[in-house]
Chains A and B, each alone.
Chain A
Amino acid sequence: MRRPLWILAVLLSHWRRHPMQLATLLIGLISATALWSGVQALNQQARIAYDRAAATFGGSRTAVLVSKDSATFPQQLFVDLRRAGWPVSPMLEGRVQIDGRSFRLLGVEPVTLPSEVGNAPAVGRGSLQSFVTPPGEMLVAGETLRDLGLREGERPQANGTSLPPLRLQAELAPGALVVDIGIAQDILKMPGQVSRLLVGKSKAPHATLESVAGEKLRLVEPSAESDLERLTDSFHLNLTAFGLLSFFVGLFIVNSAIGLAFEQRLPMLRTLRACGVSARMLNTVLVIELVSLALVAGLIGLVCGYFIAAALLPDVAASLRGLYGAQIPGQLSLKPVWWFAGIAISILGALAAAAASLAKAIRMPVLATAQPQAWQHAQRRWLIFQSATALAVFAVAAVLIQFGDSLIAGFAVLAALMLGAALILPMVLQIALAIGQRSARAPVGIWFWADSRQQLSGLSLALMALLLALAVNVGVGTMVESFSRTFLVWLDGRLAADIYISAASDTQAKEIKAWLRDRPEVDAILPGGRADTQLGGAPIEVLGLPDHTTYRDNWPLLESTANAWVRLRPGDTCLVSEQLSRRMKLAIGDHIEVPAPGGSWPLEIVGIYADYGNPKGQIAVNFAALTRRFPQTPQTRLGLRVAPDRIPALIAALQEKFGLDDRNIADQATMKRESKRVFNRTFSVTAALNAFTLGVAGIALLTSLLTLANSRLPQLAPLWAIGLTRRRLAALELLKTMAVALITALFALPLGLLVAWCLLAIVNVKAFGWRLPFQVFPLQLIELLAVAMAAALCAAALPVARLARMQPATLIRTFVNER
């Protein structure tokens, strides 16, 4: 037992003498683990929130009965089904406005709630009497209570009505308000109506659905994946892809540190073997050493990952709320599996990064054989093999672009492009440097190019990391900038009114409208409203637009029939959002049947419009037609056209007259500012991860150069001996690093643009349902090029400065101690 410990002590003594190398290895492992586990923590946090949402009274984890052609159906069907032995429980869902903000109201019937449905037992255990007897109770999550700014027992106001007193129920999803169904029917003004029936798991025999409800209802089976999980898959895939990329960039550092340590320890390993340590024992101890280091780095990485996740969580929550309406709590709560997985990924990553070195150690002959020529041949063969693999990977990407038709295929194209580019980079650099060497005339110039080529094998992994980080930065930067510019143009069209009002109730809205009609500065009052329904089994919004020139002139349509706005007036046509048209493969001229309270509403599609940032599908119809078909639609939203110089005075007057605060009234500029803020926050996570990846790539380059610096002395010392000053040698070393970094960065630019095209034309379309125009932003590219060169300069500065200050004695020792 003591033998392996002695060998381990010898192996570890190397790190004691080379602390910088140990730091490099640990930094690589810590960065890889931290970024990966940070992203996983964010994903896990979101999934916990989705589970809570799904478990809230009949989310997608419960089988439900819904109307075949209408948003609601009569309560009598529930009574009939119960009598026929069906274990059903009624539920009514709608939205209420509290202080100008929209909340999801769920009406449940606690006595019949199936025991396995979400929080049913908790409702039952609580004071059932006080829940069902007026004024009842309104169950909310802690986050919702905080959002409302109210305490338990207080009664919020909605549409002029007092809602039941609030009661905290921690397991509920944020944003949901749960009341007794009778109270919900009163609040939503839908007496005797039910949105769906939750179906319990009772095995008792019952009549068939058709025999009781005829053709009116259909059964929706439970799904293992919640609606939110499905919707947000692409977002989490995106995060995971970033995490994975950072992880691999971190592993590049580990690989280069371990590779160099192995090269430096070769004489030690041979001595150990000569002293009688068997190959098996040596390799076992090498693995133990690596696993121990990975364990330490993994633990530190996990702590860093926790802090990264905690720092990014507010932005991720904002992104998920902005893009999908998902409510994610702002505090991290992690399961034990996250900690174990983090340690496991650190160990597996370290073993993967060290695989080549460990394999070499297994095959290492005890006697050193100096065969530089053979080594060079092997390098050339490896380069050719690597380039051939790159071409094969590019071919796979081309096939996927041609035939792939899914989000996974989109990400696979991206992965293939990046992998192929990384693999072919050493060959590109070899060719570029060979051209440089051929054009050089002066001896130092020839050495400069030749030595750069020789250095490539040691630097190529770090340069690959730099290439990937830069390409991702260019790609994501171009995508975000394209999106940003398109979004701003779109926002100008969508927010065409000058003032937006959200009244507290329909009554107040009527009073405001009446008051506004007498104001000469108001050119137009544009009422708006929206209703929720479903199409093809998925929830959609029906948006009501008044027939007015504001919309006709500004509303951004991607494509439309002639006179689309005129054709919208009678109420038998609609416009559909781009994502809905892509999801349901709808085109102009197609007909859809929209379930409405009074029955199915047939509509012809006359236009398709962009609706960026909306997770739900949406259709736009004439406002008057909407209020006819969905009479319960709240009519609290108004847009006003006002002369620009009269806007502040009118807002002040409205606020004074109707007690409206900033949440209920805003001018166009404020709305746009807020939208841009939400937009920017949505991409701040991407920007942060981009910066992290570039930072890790910079560290990879720095550590490679630092670790290479020592092994380069035998190459540099002879030049110093024949008359090149240390300062000149340092300048040449710096120039060499900058040259290879520049070639890499120049190669990264077109690759990044290709990545951007993939994101815009494939991934975005599949993930969100919208396609954005591809644009190139030269200034942004120049900026990134400068950042890359600055990173290379920083990375090269330290080893070069060391060389410039190196004592002659150190260089002389190279000749004395060469082994």
Chain B
Amino acid sequence: MSSLTKFGNEPFVWLIELGQSFENFLLALYSIFTGKFAKKEFVEQASKFGFDTLPVVAIVSFFIGLALTLQISKQLMGVGNTSALGTTVAVSIVREIGPVVAGVMIAARIGGAMAAEIATMSVTEQIDALTVMKQNPIRFLVAPRLLASMIMTPLLTVFAIYIGSIGGMLIAIIYVHLDPYMFFDSFRSVVGNKDIIIALTKALVNGALVATLSCTFGMETSGGAAGVGQTTTKSVVWAMVGIFLFNFLITNSVYSVAKVLDPAFVR
């Protein structure tokens, strides 16, 4: 079928898999820009994203907001500077926690389901049937999922930031007895357009990673039910590794560039 199957037993198969994923990503992106993809599939996938992930993202972000603020407030209370709580929580949640939490939840909830669905299609010859009917699997399966993921992940990330901040605010009010206005005022003072852009860039990359890896691994699945299980685990693990890796790379790049262009941002 593809190079993956041919080199299946090679020791550096992961490298070939990543190359195949990148190729699929580019092809799907081309399909999206040319408008040649299954629109019905896109609508279905986008709605799945929202309904399936929203509650999980809300719950996890809320509790992480609580725990994070609790930890930070403990440290700040020790040095007697609780007024910086909003600022510190804001930077953590907007720049790091929000995109990562949303990305990880999407990888686990949607990426796993996406990989399992496409892997099942692969082992039951549905993808072969599409090929015989001259339906391009990239246009039919990958492009709609990629587009849905790249639209919905940023939205869910904004939602995760919002809910995480509410969790943080609750701790600030109940535990630190901070005025909610003061908390949000310091929050607002530090979060600017650049932070939102960083968060959304990370979210966009996360969305692309989850959809591309899940679809690629799914399409290369063989070996019946066992193969479907392996693919699901593999796609979730790889997507999570990718999310953390790119999160670091983006943060590092932003700080490196900002050090030169906008030193105040780094401070």
State whether these chains interact. no
